[in-house]
Amino acid sequence: MDRRRVLKISSAFLGYSIAGGTAAAVLGGCKATAEAKPADLDLFDDNTYHLINELTELILPATDTPGAKDANVVSYLHERIKHFSTEEEQQAIFAGLKIFDAQANESFSKKFIDLNSEERVKILENMATQAKENEEHIFNILREETIVGFFTSEVGATEVLRHDPIPGVYNGCMDYVEGEIVWSL
Amino acid sequence: MYFNSKGKEEVTYDAIVIGSGISGGWAAKELSEKGLKTLVLERGRKVKHGEYPTANLETWDVPNRGKLSLEEMKHYEKQSRTGYTISEFYKHWWVKDTDQPYAEVKPFDWIRGYHLGGRSLMWGRQSYRWSEMDFVANAKEGIAVDWPIRYKDLAPWYDYVESFAGISGQNEGLEQLPDGKFLPPMELNCVEQKVKTKMAENFNDRMLTIGRTAHLTEPKHNRGTCQFRNRCMRGCPYGAYFSSLASTLPAAEVTGNLTITTNAIVHSIIYDEDTKKAVGVRAKDANTLEEREFFAKVIFCNASTVGTTSILMNSKSDRFPNGMGNDSGELGHNMMDHHFHVGASGKTDEFRDKYTKGRRPNGIYIPRFRNINKATQQKDFIRGYGYQGGGSRQGWQRNVKELAFGPKLKESLTHPGDWSFGLLAFGEILPHHDNKMYLDYDKKDKWGMPTVVFDCGLKENEMAMRKDMMNSAAEICEAAGLKNVQTFDTRYAFGNGIHEMGTARMGKDPKTSVLNKWNQIHEVKNVFVTDGSCMTSAACQNPSLTYMALTARAADFAVSELKKKNL
């Protein structure tokens, strides 16, 4: 989680401003957001909303460019699960999501959203390892949908990638300088 | 008998064109430019060029990034079988299967849209001439019936339609893929250029060229050039690709001779026993179901292969109890398409210092190289196939398995990956009498029209060809030095190529064919059929350019026959 966001959240949470350098220390981790779940995400309960929101940000975090939360990927995931999954698939996804809390509880006796950054990463690394042999694993579903949701969003396509809606030309073999950003389309 | 409250004069034209897609647009242009008062009947709604609702929308501007919900997809169960036709960006161009039912004895994908311009708005735009070997093959091999025309009959008309439509491509001097009147070709990218070079080094029977496509690479008749957005199927606001709306219908309109009536579902063609001619057509209003009749001296059927065949089948009279022009019993038979979904792909770690700009709405073409001559003759199958495909450098969509999550994953996906290259084969399907469509008069659609039943499947020749289509693709990829070469042969159902054709074929003998060498119904000379239903064989090239040339040729003949009072 980037510093900018921690400050914003902590200010709201603690009710006063904290000097940047000490924010993380004071908070002791990424206490999940105090912001309320948007009403239209009616398929998610509060915990599920915050859990998915945090997971998307762990998968594609804000760095020097925006991350999954900035692109509201959680809302995209809500649409996907609500309108594009059968009831059976929905049940599998929600059952899969419960594993995050179960593992957080087992390892740290907390809910996933109450873990600090290091703890979250540990759980996610564990999940990623389990997912290696299983394409249908909840981690793989979340990862894939987060990637698609992020890079097809306006934030992802225009602020993180290079968006070129009307190229005007086709150049099939131009010089590429290492580090140049990929096209969004 | 006549249902119009208006006088007969008001609904009488010189020519009626049924359908406004690729061939109907050409019929309208040619007939009206040659002075005929021409009525175009289109069963779908009116669309004006430029009124393309999704043309400038971004992925995030539409619900669910363009994907239709499971609930809405229920309306497009068959139309979505291509995998690329149904999304928020295109769904308004395709019929709802729940409104437009048809039946399949064996799986058949009948993918279509009803609106002014028809499938000329959504077509793949690849444009290839047929060659002499395509026109002589049936006779030479004793398959079905002989074509009544040869390449030389169509060559000047290919010149003519290419010059107007605007086809970009490269002349290569190939016997099996004749040169044309092309606009400047689009560019090959690094990996395609490499495959081309390696093919030249490794094979003397096959080569790679840039796709020949109906896109303007130079401005033409108030149409703009291709902007390389690759959002073609949404409708092009620049008019950069050929469509009836951007090209032929505007040309017909300026003559002052064109009338367009939309929402007019043609029920049948009216036959006059005394003159032994068609006198007009009967149509239903799509909204009110009101029946109307329109009259003309000459009728062009361009309602698409299945549409035209259905109309002819439904045009019953004492003279034609089994459908107009069906003395031969071949109407509805000999259905063809191009079979595909088979090929190979590979990757290269070369060209890491090269990238592309723009989204070229076109790929490469590897023209047919089997059964061209004695040296390329195959034991297991006759005819041949061509490859379409291309190379690209992978973007964020690629799977970066080694990075599970976090800043490094994000960083990695924001930079291009390896170059990949793929080949997809399109093969010829032979005409078989028992590959057929027919009408079910017990099951009517909501307009009271009989519904279509398809009974078509691939046979031995196509199945043997598919093995070679796959293996040769891998052979080419390997000869080009690509790595991780993988082959595929996935679902193909008849019709999925959206090149359905052949159900009212041309031929020399009225006993075995529906149309003569001028696309006239043998027994009803003032009815012309110039859409895909007229095809006597399928070749392996994309067929629309040939429909254009046949239509312009037939329209020219029709007008000269009218002048001679032969019709």
Q: What angle do CA B486, B488, B492 make, to 5 degrees?
A: 165
Summarised one tens digit per residue, pLDDT across range B329-365 is 999 999 999 999 999 999 999 999 999 999 999 999 9
A183 vs B69, B189, B395: nearest CB: B395
Mean pLDDT score across all residues of chain B: 97
For residue B6, the model assigns a pLDDT of 61
Average pLDDT rounded to a whole number, residues A130-137: 91
Looking at CA atoms only, how far is residue A15 from chain B in angstroms?
A: 30
> Which band of pLDDT confidence, cut at 50, 70 and 90, is reported for residue A34?
low
Q: Which residues of B touch A140 (CB under 8 A)?
A: none
> Which band of pLDDT confidence, cut at 50, 70 and 90, is reported for residue B401?
confident
Q: Which residues of A touch B416 (CB under 8 A)?
A: 176, 180, 182
> Which band of pLDDT confidence, cut at 50, 70 and 90, is reported for residue A53?
very high
Is the model's pLDDT at B468 over the cut of 60? yes
What is the interface size between A and B, counted as CB pairs within 8 Å? 137
Average pLDDT rounded to a whole number, residues B372-391: 98
For residue B5, the model assigns a pLDDT of 52
CA distance B90 to B266: 25
A169 vs B228, B405, B411: nearest CB: B228
CA distance A43 to A40: 8
Q: How do the residues of chain B divide into helix, strand and coil, expressed in percent and rounded to 5?
A: 25, 25, 50
Looking at CA atoms only, how far is residue A96 from chain B in angstroms?
A: 17
Q: How do the residues of chain A divide into helix, strand and coil, expressed in percent and rounded to 5?
A: 60, 5, 40
Residues 193-252 of B with CB under 8 A from A: 193, 227-230
Summarised one tens digit per residue, pLDDT across range B246-256 is 999 999 999 99
Average pLDDT rounded to a whole number, residues B134-148: 98
Looking at CA atoms only, how far is residue A179 from chain B in angstroms?
A: 7
> Which band of pLDDT confidence, cut at 50, 70 and 90, is reported for residue A33?
low
3-state secondary structure B21-59: CHHHHHHHHHHHHCCCCEEEECCCECCCCCCCCCCCCCH
Note the Cα B374 to chain centre separation in Å: 31
ipTM: 0.92
Interface check B351 vs A, CB under 8 A: yes
DSSP class of B9: G
Interface check A130 vs B, CB under 8 A: no
Summarised one tens digit per residue, pLDDT across range B142-189 is 999 999 999 999 999 999 999 999 999 999 999 999 999 999 999 999
Q: What are the start-end ranges of the H helices in B238-296?
A: 249-253
In this prediction the pTM is 0.93
For residue B400, the model assigns a pLDDT of 87
A60 vs B353, B354, B409: nearest CB: B409
For residue A23, the model assigns a pLDDT of 39
For residue B474, the model assigns a pLDDT of 98
- Residue extents of the structural domains in chain A: 1-31, 34-160
DSSP class of B142: T
Summarised one tens digit per residue, pLDDT across range B414-449 is 999 999 999 999 999 999 999 999 999 999 999 999
Q: Do B410 and A67 touch (CB under 8 A)?
A: yes
Is the model's pLDDT at B59 over the cut of 90? yes
For residue A17, the model assigns a pLDDT of 35
CA distance B16 to B38: 6
- Which residues make Cβ contacts (< 8 Å) with residue B513, sequence separation at least 6? B145, B148, B328, B330, B505, B506, B507, B522, B536
Residue in the structure block whose two tokens are 């009728």? B299
Strands B291-301 and B12-18: parallel
Looking at CA atoms only, how far is residue B234 from chain A in angstroms?
A: 14
3-state secondary structure B194-253: HHHHHHHHHCCCCCCEECCECECCCCECCECCCCCCCCHHHCCCCCCECCHHHHHHHHHH
CA distance B278 to B270: 6
For residue A25, the model assigns a pLDDT of 38
Is the model's pLDDT at A1 over the cut of 60? no
Average pLDDT rounded to a whole number, residues B46-69: 95
Is the model's pLDDT at A24 over the cut of 80? no
User: Nearest residue on chain A to B225, judged by CA atoms?
Assistant: A168
Q: Do B395 and A182 touch (CB under 8 A)?
A: yes
Is the model's pLDDT at A8 over the cut of 60? no
Looking at CA atoms only, how far is residue B296 from chain A in angstroms?
A: 45
From B322, B320, B323, B321, select the one nearest B312 (Cα to Cα). Answer: B323
Q: Which residues of B touch A60 (CB under 8 A)?
A: 405, 409-410
Average pLDDT rounded to a whole number, residues B492-501: 97
For residue B283, report the phi and psi dihedrals to the nearest 5 degrees.
-135, 150
* Alpha-carbon torsion, ordered B210, B211, B214, B220, to 10 deg: 0
The CA-based diameter of chain A, rounded to the nearest angstrom, is 58
Which of A69, A139, A166, A170 would best serve as a mutation to test chain B binding (most B beta carbons within 10 A)?
Answer: A170
User: Nearest residue on chain B to A155, judged by CA atoms?
Assistant: B60
User: Nearest residue on chain B to A133, judged by CA atoms?
Assistant: B401
For residue B399, the model assigns a pLDDT of 85
For residue A79, the model assigns a pLDDT of 93
DSSP class of B170: -
Interface check A60 vs B, CB under 8 A: yes
Q: Do B410 and A179 touch (CB under 8 A)?
A: no
Summarised one tens digit per residue, pLDDT across range B79-110 is 999 999 999 999 999 999 999 999 999 999 99
- Which residues make Cβ contacts (< 8 Å) with residue B138, sequence separation at least 6? B144, B145, B146, B147, B431, B536, B537
Q: Which residues of A touch B189 (CB under 8 A)?
A: 172-173
Is the model's pLDDT at B120 over the cut of 90? yes
pLDDT above 90 coverage of chain A, percent: 78
